[in-house]
Amino acid sequence: MKINEVLYEGMEFHACELETRDDGSKLFSPPNMREEELDCHFCDGTGKDDSDYYPDGKCGFCKGSGKVKEWCSDSPEMQVSNSNGYAIQRDILGVEPDYAGSIPPEQLPSIRKKLFKMLNMESERASMHKDQSQSQKQWVSHKGNIATIQKGAQMHDMGRTDSQIQSYARRLLEIVDFAIKNNLYVAWA
């Protein structure tokens, strides 16, 4: 078995619509979902597996065809680790972290504003971490200088690089913009 055949653990953020099924249950689903045939991402479309796990030499995921059917959408999405997902929920979205949740369309303009503020901060200030020995309003940069932060979104650096934080914020802004434009929710699971 290849390492990429192991179940992926993490959290995915995406724009989605709230569907009501015939039985009354509700389901979040990315818009314009469609099934597409794609090259198998486990064997890179070859249909072959060189490991000894499959004695016939065929990829166990696509059964040797080199193709798989995947559900696809035009909606932007972002896959992150659970710990990064919790930080995004807490520090940007302003919600209590959970494995799954959503932000309704009417709350997205304020999230968008937080993201713009965060992206326009100096890179060093965007990733400051709280000094536990200081008051609630003081933050310590990586260089040890104390700076008072005004209102705005903050990402706390718990091992995340400035560029990683900025890339998450940019991608989340794309998701929020798409959701606002199409009157969708932003959800994660």
pLDDT at residue 8, as a whole number = 55
Which domain does 147 fall in, by range?
Answer: 80-188
- Residue 133 counted as domain residue: yes
Longest dimension (CA), the chain: 64
Strand-strand pairing, 185-188 and 146-148: unpaired
Phi and psi angles of residue 47, each rounded to the nearest 5 degrees, phi first: 80, 0
64-99: per-residue pLDDT in tens? 888 988 887 888 899 998 888 998 898 888 889 998
- Residue 9 counted as domain residue: no
Range of lowest pLDDT (142-146, 151-155, 180-184): 142-146
Cβ contacts of residue 24 below 8 Å, gap of 6+?
A: none
- Residue 112 counted as domain residue: yes
- Residue 70 counted as domain residue: no
Mean residue pLDDT of the chain comes to 77
d(CA 131, CA 117): 22
Number of domains, the chain:
1
The number of CA neighbours under 13 Å toward the Cβ of 137 is 3
Average confidence (pLDDT) over 151-158: 54
pLDDT at 101 over 80: yes
Q: Go through the chain and tell me how many residues it has.
A: 189
pLDDT at residue 38, as a whole number = 87
Tokens 């009501």 belong to which residue?
20
- Residue 66 counted as domain residue: no
pTM flag (> 0.75): no
Which tokens go with 152? 């705005």
Model confidence band, residue 31 (pLDDT cutoffs 50, 70, 90)? confident
